[in-house]
A and B are shown apart, each in its own frame.
Chain A
Amino acid sequence: MPDELALARRAAAGDRDALDTLLRSQYDAVYAVCRRMTGNDADAADAAQDALIAMARGIGRFDGRSRLSTWAYRVTVNACLDELRRRKRRPEPTDDASLARVADLRPSVERTVSDRIDVDAALRRLAPDYRAAVVLRDLCALDYAEIAEVLDIPAGTVRSRIARGRAALAADLGNPSMPDDRPTERS
């Protein structure tokens, strides 16, 4: 943490090498979140670039109270949500194509390949608020408190969004091991 803060302060003071190092240290995680949030490589690249630009411009606001990665995730999720809003103004780039490929691929290639395409499509159909919670938990392995900080919502809401997101994804993916007729203590 002290190293992160020192690096951030040097970057904020105009040290170009420090900023370069800082951005590169976060890039893989930033891109991964963008890839899952947007569902395709082109939008992910744009969102990741926007996130890095926002980080570069806003590094002076990082105060070290959270981990650098937590701050980076917050900036990244916001960049992804912006990208998703912009994408509504243009056609989905790969959705139909991906779904068509799934149908073509199922009989002939590894199940994991079609699962990957399926989960991209299923994630795109999930509301962005739920998508972000699930991605931050299952891809980034953040705990509920960190996700709450990134998304600026209560931890209880994080828990609920993750559960609903996972349930929706499982249903969308047609997971046969997910019985829906199970009476629960709340039903």
Chain B
Amino acid sequence: MSAPHPDDERLSAALDGHDAEALAHADGCAQCAARLAGFQAVAALVGAPVSAPRADDAVAAALGSATVTSLRPGSRRGPFALAAAAMLLVVLAAVSVITGRDDSRTDMAASTDAGSGSVAAGGAAGADLGDQSDPTALADRLRGVVEPPVVAGDAQVATDAPNAATGGATTESAQSLASRRSAAMAPTSGGPCGLTVAQEFSAGLGPLVYTATLRWEGTPAVAVVYRIDGATGSLDHRVLVMATSDCRLLVAQTF
């Protein structure tokens, strides 16, 4: 009677160099050799190199996040430094709210006006998204704004204008809306973070379709939503949330 075949766990371990006896068995057993070869094929497919996109966006978001975190209670700084940092954060936030709101009213007025159809259709009260801290929740909310349900009267706009987030009872063409919104955030418009977006985060992004103000984990911020160039699936928008004060990227989310 021949030796029993090693089970899958032993053959898999043999592939990883952990079971010499099973490996030796497979050398003389066609069935086990075939099974081992199957494991090897799977391992090769899973282990095929993955080419990563540029790290800049993700690293920038992480650095921005660390900047915010370092000023939070619970960091490893001393109590006096912590208190000073907290006071600085309050002052910066207050200044940002005061100046940022003025800026946003000036710089994003066109965007807000142009987006009113979408906002109204999405049921939101305006272009301030309030306090946000969860990227998925933010994306869910924005999805309702930039991809409102198509209702009678909107169908023409929705189907004719793949590059714009429209909807609502507007008669303006979607292309025109997109153009106006893009102009609102174009670097030359002096939009609060338009230059930063154009220089650092625009790769692979299509037209700007929506902007809003919000507070991201307490930090006054602006959210800009782009369509993704060439996207064909359901994940075809990307929102960038940037601090109003210095345009550092706080979070980016695809939805």
Give me the interface of A with B, judged by CB distance under 8 Å.
Answer: 12, 14, 16, 19-20, 23-24, 27-28, 31-32, 35-36, 40-43, 45-46, 48-50, 52-53, 55-57, 59-60, 86, 89-91, 93-94, 97, 115-116, 118-119, 123, 134-135, 137-139, 141, 143-144, 159-160, 162-164, 166-167, 169-170, 173, 175, 177-179, 182-187
Contacts and interface: CB of A to CB of B under 8 A. Distances in A.
Interface string B61-88: 1110111011000011000000000000
A27 B46 contact: no
B50 to A, nearest CB: 4
A179 B5 CA distance: 12
Q: What is the interface of chain A mostly: helix, strand, loop, or mixed?
A: helix
B136 interface: yes
Given A20-B59, A49-B252, A53-B65, 8 more contacts: A40-B235, A43-B235, A45-B57, A119-B48, A123-B46, A134-B42, A170-B42, A179-B31
Contacts of B136: 86, 89
User: Which among B58, B70, B228 has the greatest number of chain A C-beta atoms within 10 A?
Assistant: B58
Interface residues of B, number: 57
B81 to A, nearest CB: 10
Nearest to B75: A60
A42 B254 CA distance: 7
A167 B8 contact: yes
B63 A48 contact: no
B42 A19 contact: no
